[in-house]
Copies of this chain bind each other. A is one copy, B any other.
Amino acid sequence: MFAHVKASPTYPPGILGGLTASHVTFSTSEFNYRKGTEIYGEKEPAEYVYQVVSGAVRSYKLLSDGRRQIGAFHLVGDIFGLENDDAHRFTAEAIMDTTVRLVRRLSLERVAHSDPVLARNLLVMTTSNLQHAEDHMLLLGRKTALERVAAFLLEMDRRLTGVDVVALPMCRRDIADYLGLTLETVSRALSKLHAYGALNFLGSNQREIMLVDRDQLARLDT
């Protein structure tokens, strides 16, 4: 395959930074994925747990006719692919050229069995995923297109490190499949927010967005 491995140098505290165990260290390695390539597929055995070192990842489910629902975007620092079953429940793909660090799931499980700290961390991470999914159900079930896009921008603003500008790594179609809309509707909503004076476009591509009026966006988010 295309991906090549690096030796694991020194990294934030803990194995996967957040997946901390008491007195153990795990062996990790790194992998590179080119834009658009699959990291793992839905229902494949969950052999590894991943952390984004650089780049961005989308996790999605497909219906038989190709309709796609992206459940989450994984940004730098995020851990993903953590399953307690044997199989992945999403397909994960690199949105752009991406480096991930990975650790064998079984080595985690083995340690967690006797290490309350790690076990606790696994629960906290799962809970945080659950919380995100619960909030997203409300968005998908009950919010309008404009509200969804506003919520999305605020989420990205919070999660992306960028100081003033939100530099989106994903295309309009990805945003649409995350928000349960079409790419045209996302585009129209962004244009409307631009007309409202809530945001400005910066780059040559339209993925760098300056949030001018966060209060207005927050009001739309309800």
A contacts, CB < 8 Å to B: 61, 63-65, 67-69, 71, 83-85, 89-90, 113-114, 116, 119-120, 122-124, 126-127, 129-131, 133-138, 140-143, 177, 179-180, 222
Contact = CB atoms under 8 A, between A and B. Distances in A.
Contacts of A134: 61, 71, 89-90, 133
Is chain A's binding surface mostly helix, strand, loop or mixed?
Answer: helix
Contact of A142 (B84, B127, B180): B180
Given A90-B134, A140-B140, A141-B180, 19 more contacts: A61-B135, A61-B138, A63-B143, A69-B137, A69-B138, A71-B134, A71-B137, A84-B127, A89-B131, A113-B116, A113-B120, A116-B119, A119-B120, A122-B123, A126-B127, A126-B130, A130-B130, A130-B133, A133-B133
Nearest to A179: B141
